[in-house]
Every structure is written in structure tokens, then in C-alpha cells.
Structure 1
């Protein structure tokens, strides 16, 4: 059996795992990005308790490897009487990780908003949350979009870590095929090709987003 034929015979078994990987990535970003924005807003708040809570979540989320977070939540939550599925646990861990990094991008975006825009909001009577929501936040989100898109690519790649807690994602399916056929090199090369191909598509979309945002900023 030639290599291409072999790969095609494995694809029906790998495709469901790829679907789980994409689902895990999507859910992690769906929850992680809003969580990161919340942490960024809390970090910019004037209340010290909110700043410390944000600091705690960000430093733990960034300081601990995603693999450690997965193990920590998967094996410690049952001891606390909380039983979650492996997929739910993976979503929580990766969302925390994504949110911690996204918060720094959001904070950088907020800090990059020109001072004149902030002063204009004040002179227009848009103070506090109203001015932040209508004037500062839209510009900060536009500035933060390219690095957040890059983070999305990293989260897709990081979804392979969920294999260690028995989430039936792409790497898990590849391992199952390898354990049956003993063709580990071939199946892992195919898995790498799949990850690489989707990553290249994501990176292409990131470049398009950066180009469009660059043109928009030039017009303004």
C-alpha cells in the first residue's frame, strides 16, 4: 500500500478527531477572549481588589503551562466533589490560558489608543464606562485583532495537549491508529500535515486581517 492510499484510508478515523480539535479551539476562544477582555478591564480599574483578582488569574494562566492546568483541573476537581467531562475540563483550562494571554493584548490595545481620543471622550461628556465602551474599546479591539488572531492559531495547536486527559481529539485518534497498525511515523506525519495545513490557512486569514486593518488605519 503506497503512502497516499494509506493516508486516505486513515482519514475517516482522523476526521472526527479533527472536528473535536476545532470544537475545542472554538470554545476556548469563545470563552477565553471575553474572559481576557474582562481581566483587562479589571486590571485598568481603580479598585485594588479587582486589579489583584485580574493579576492572579493572568499570572496563573500565563505562568503555568497549559499542560499543567489540564492536569491540575482534571485530577483535582473530582477531589473537590466537582465532576466534569474531559472535554469540559479541557475547555476550562484552555480558555483560562487563552484569556490570560488575550488580556495582555487587550491591555496593550487600550494603552495604544491615542490620548487625544480619550480627551475627546471626556470633552464630549462621555465619562467612565460610557466613554470607554463607545470610544476607547472599539479602537482597542481593532488594534488587538492581529495578535488575537495569532493567539487563535496557537490555541488550535495547543488543543493537541487535551490528548493527555483522554479528549478524543486529533492526536488521540492518531495514537489509536498507531497502536493498531504500528505505523506511528506515518500516522504522525499525516497528523502533522493536517495541523500544518490548517495552521497555514489560519495564518493566511491573519495576514488578510492585518492587511485590511492596515488599509483602514491608513485611510484614517
Structure 2
């Protein structure tokens, strides 16, 4: 018989852990958005060396598990004298991983902009950086919003892997209290509800952004 009264006294600690999960996710997503934009621009660059670096980054990050990347940052870098806290290590690994997928989302959005608009801007004497800033990127962002939203939700759920490098986020705290109280189902169900609440919040915010951008187009 399930007994959720065992979880009741630990809810405040789980709320605090959920906040850490949310903070880690937001930092990682922001880092991924910035990194992804740079990589996408490198990918479409006319300079072969930048394209090659972007391709290498995408090949390595998308072709290896996030868990391995996380362990390399947390356990591997100290071997060469670079050491970060568990939270910072997790944020770096998650941000680097997100950047690879977000770069491809951006690139798809950029390629979706019609060449006619670019040619018209060039005919008016606009330089490429200005065209990219004022014409291409705003439209690419609008097209990319749904996919970026999905990636944000994926990152929120993937943040649970940070528990494996001792970050006191929701999953680690849930595991700790579940094993102490021998109430694994109860604690994991409550943890799942917290994740569901956070992903619902992300979805709500992203839907609002998408609707606002759609209105601005009209």
C-alpha cells in the first residue's frame, strides 16, 4: 500500500531541489542558445575552417552520450588541472550538449528564410551582417520557437543526470530520501509530479511567446 505521508515532511527539501533543477536548466538553455547561434553562423559561413570546426563540434557532441560528456567535464578536466563545482560542471556539460542541437535548429530556421528577401536587401546596399541581424535572424527565431521549446523541455528532463555528479537537484534529493525511508515509489511519483509541473510551466511560457510573436507578425 502506498503511503505518501512518508513524503510529506520532505516536500520543502524537494521544492528547494526543484528550484536548483530549474536554475540549472535555465542556465544550460541560455548557454545552449548563445553557443548554438555561434555554431549555426559558423556552419553557414563562407570560411571553410569555421564550417569544419562547427561540423566537428556537432559530430562529437551529437554522437556521444550526454552522460559521458558530463563525466568528462566533472571527472576528466581535473586531471589536466581544470576543476569546477558539481553545479558548474553540470551547467557546462548541459550547455555544450544543448548548443549542438540548438545550432541545427537555428540553421534550419536561417535556411527557411527566402533568398529573395536576402537578394532584395543586397540590392538596397545592405551589408551581410546587417541583413543577418535585421532580416534573417528575426525570422529564423520565429520559425525556430517550437523546436527550441521542445529542446528546452528535453534539457529540463536531462538535468536529472546532474545527480550523478552530486548536484543536489530534484532527482538526487528524491533518491536520497527514497532510500532512507524505503519509499521509492512514493518519492519517485512526487518527483515525477515536480518535473511535470516544471515542464508544464515551460510549455505555458513558450506558448505565450509563440502567440505574441504571431500577433506581432500580423
Could you say which TM-score interval applies, normalised by the shorter chain? over 0.9
Match in the other structure for 2:73: 73
The answer to whether the 8 Å contact 2:29/2:95 transfers is: yes
Match in the other structure for 1:88: 88
The Cα offsets for residues 133-163 of structure 1, whole Å up to 9 and x where unpaired, read as: 1211111111112211111111111100101
Deviates more, 1:106-115 or 1:202-211: 202-211
> How many residues align structurally?
218
The answer to whether the 8 Å contact 2:24/2:87 transfers is: yes
Secondary structure, counterpart of 2:84 in structure 1:
coil
Match in the other structure for 1:110: 110
Match in the other structure for 1:19: 19
The answer to whether the 8 Å contact 2:170/2:191 transfers is: yes
Q: How does 1:151-162 map to 2 (within 5 A)?
A: 151-162=151-162
Partners of 1:203 and 1:3 in 2: how far apart?
A: 31
The answer to whether the 8 Å contact 2:21/2:159 transfers is: yes
Secondary structure, counterpart of 1:77 in structure 2:
helix
The answer to whether the 8 Å contact 2:6/2:183 transfers is: no
Secondary structure, counterpart of 1:84 in structure 2:
coil
Match in the other structure for 1:10: 10
Alpha-carbon offset, residue 4 of structure 1? 5.0
Match in the other structure for 1:147: 147
The answer to whether the 8 Å contact 1:150/1:206 transfers is: no
Alpha-carbon offset, residue 34 of structure 1? 0.7
Partners of 1:50 and 1:173 in 2: how far apart?
A: 42
Alpha-carbon offset, residue 113 of structure 1? 0.6
The answer to whether the 8 Å contact 1:42/1:51 transfers is: yes
Partners of 1:19 and 1:196 in 2: how far apart?
A: 14
Gaps of 5+ in 1: none
- The two structures have a TM-score, normalised by structure 1, of 0.92
The Cα offsets for residues 71-99 of structure 1, whole Å up to 9 and x where unpaired, read as: 12211101111111111111110001110
Aligned CA-pair RMSD = 1.8
Q: How does 1:130-145 map to 2 (within 5 A)?
A: 130-145=130-145
Gaps of 5+ in 2: none
Partners of 1:105 and 1:16 in 2: how far apart?
A: 32
Match in the other structure for 2:172: 172
The Cα offsets for residues 8-54 of structure 1, whole Å up to 9 and x where unpaired, read as: 32211111211111111011012110100000000011111101111
